[in-house]
């Protein structure tokens, strides 16, 4: 796939998704961080149901920390792996207060030093909250990178590096959400909706056969 094809793919995706943004409900960078930690192996819909209740009662590191692990679990026990996530979030709140004055840091290293925050979560925060031109490779983007042929790679990091290098600069700030939303609603894991896909003629899926 050449540079012109990649630019055309993003041009069409941008036209078909005029408001590319996260579907996780949040009113602050801290709320986004909590929601993204909770979203691992969970759906955005399920996370939103839990955080709508949580954030109505506790929307700051200080307030969530005051809940303690058991108190936080009462809000998030509908989410998979909630016990471990509660521990990570409580400790993250403690570190945000002790190290960052209660603010979410605008630094990959500082973000990845927080419990429950890996490269993908850090990239989501850097891109969504702070506008950094980075791409967080989740299952949707990993699938699309390989299926479409836009950034094939055997690991999420390899796909991320190829996307970062090959995405036209004007589309890089929104590329993360453009690809996620396209993967969530059109280029689905099973039975992709190729008949309504705006980039069907540019996609390599038809020549590769079914993708994982």
User: What is the Cα–Cα distance from 135 to 173, expressed in whole angstroms?
Assistant: 8
Q: At which residue do the structure tokens 């996260």 appear?
A: 22
Query: Three-state DSSP class for 42?
Result: coil
Marked catalytic residue, from 138, 165, 193, 208:
138
- Residues with Cβ within 8 Å of residue 104, at least 6 apart in sequence: 29, 30, 32, 33, 96, 111, 125, 129
Residue 52 CA neighbour count, 13 Å, CB half: 10
Buried b (16+ CB within 10 A) or exposed e, 129-166: beebebbbbbebbbbbbbbbbbbebeebebbbebbbee
- Whether 120 is catalytic is yes
CA dihedral 66, 71, 73, 75 (to 10 degrees): -90
Catalytic residue among 57, 87, 120, 201: 120
Residues identified as active-site: 120, 138
């Amino acid at each position: 796939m050449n540079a012109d094809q990649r630019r055309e793919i993003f041009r069409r995706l941008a036209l078909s998704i005029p408001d590319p943004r996260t579907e996780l409900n949040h009113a602050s960078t801290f709320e986004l961080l909590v929601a993204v930690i909770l979203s691992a192996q969970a759906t955005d819909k399920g996370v939103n149901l839990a955080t709508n209740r949580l954030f109505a009662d506790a929307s700051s590191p200080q307030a969530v920390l005051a809940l303690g692990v058991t108190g936080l679990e009462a809000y998030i026990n509908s989410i998979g792996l909630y016990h471990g996530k509660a521990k990570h979030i409580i400790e993250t709140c403690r570190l945000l207060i002790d190290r960052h004055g209660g603010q979410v840091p605008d630094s990959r290293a500082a973000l990845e030093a927080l419990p429950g925050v890996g490269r993908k979560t850090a990239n989501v925060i850097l891109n969504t909250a702070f506008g950094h031109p980075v791409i967080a490779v989740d299952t949707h983007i990993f699938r699309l990178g390989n299926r479409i042929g836009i950034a094939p790679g055997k690991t999420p990091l390899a796909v991320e590096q190829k996307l970062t290098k090959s995405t036209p600069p004007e589309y890089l700030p929104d590329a993360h959400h453009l690809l996620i939303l396209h993967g969530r609603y059109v280029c689905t894991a099973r039975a992709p909706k190729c008949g309504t896909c705006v980039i069907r003629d540019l996609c390599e899926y038809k020549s590769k056969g079914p993708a994982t």
